[in-house]
Structure 1
């Protein structure tokens, strides 16, 4: 996911408490925001389309949806590989269900023991990925 420096980080780095619109940022402030993205863009050409897609997705989101997306990224980063595999399997299955089916699967998932979840993931695992994003 394309993530920019937080307001707090930029304010701290630039010594400003309140920050202006993009057009009023100094060249140094703009570079501070853009540099991490440029590094990822150059280092991972195979992920460029994904980065563009996520940036477009973020533009269409409400502020609340963006906040939720950032929280999801934080949770993902703290998951073990086993937990990530479980979430991929669960998400993949949820996408194929209607709302009632998703609700039922969420309830079943919450009621499962860790061993039952592992078995469910083995039975419903999506194809393996080269690496986590």
Structure 2
């Protein structure tokens, strides 16, 4: 849970810094990295520097995430940003469901992923809740908090 949230926060902070820079200057006039002023570079990396310094245990994951991001195609990056925006708009219960589904689906072959998505869409809220509780990680580092009770019908 912490890692997914940390990833979202890191990417979000980086995107916010980039958005702030982009809003102050038209995109067409922004130079290559090497031609940015020290102030522009600092505006882009300050959020990452702050997280890097404040959480030494998270540094290996941050570095791995940066390397993975660099190797992504523009389309994969677009999809990642889209997913991050969707995740940010979710309530805590929806986020927990998304985390558990992601952790379960990430290692499945495509045909099993499709089946799980189809099964998920057909489930009632009670069935989804039971599935989440059954499939939530047992590792104490990733163990999600207990899910809130379902709202009355």
**TM-score, normalization by structure 2:** 0.74
Corresponding residue number in structure 1 for 2:151? none
Instruction: Assess if the C-alpha contact under 8 Å between 1:88 and 1:126 holds in 2.
Output: no
Aligned with residue 112 of structure 1, among 123, 128, 146: 123
Closer, same or farther in 2 for the Cα pair 1:108/1:122, shift >3 Å? same
Runs of 4+, deviation exceeding 4 Å: none
Contact kept? 1:10, 1:32, Cα under 8 Å: yes
Identify which of 72, 92, 115 aligns with 2:83.
72
User: What is the alpha-carbon root mean square deviation over aligned residues?
Assistant: 2.1
Report the Cα distance in structure 2 between the residues aligned to 1:111 and 1:130, rounded to whole angstroms.
Answer: 26
> Which blocks of at least 5 consecutive residues in structure 2 are unaligned?
1-6, 145-153
How far did 1:48 drift? Answer: 1.1
Give the number of equivalent residue pairs.
Answer: 130
Q: Which has the higher contact order (CA 8 A, sep 6+)?
A: 2
SS in 2 for 1:20: coil
Out of 59, 78, 81, the position equivalent to 1:48 is 59
Matched, 1:33 2:44: yes
Partners in 2 of 1:38 and 1:8 — Cα distance? 17
TM-score by length of 1: 0.83
Report Cα offsets for 1:8-63 as digits up to 9, x if no partner.
421333x4442110001011101111111111111122211111111001100011
Match of 2:21 among 10, 17, 30: 10
Cα offsets for 1:81-120 (capped at 9, x unmatched): 3222222222222234322211111100011122211011
* Corresponding position: 1:125 with 2:131: no
Structure 2 CA distance for partners of 1:121 and 1:60, relative to 1, 3 Å = same
1:20 aligns with 2:21: no
Distance 1:69 1:96 in 2: 17
Structure 1 partner of 2:148: none
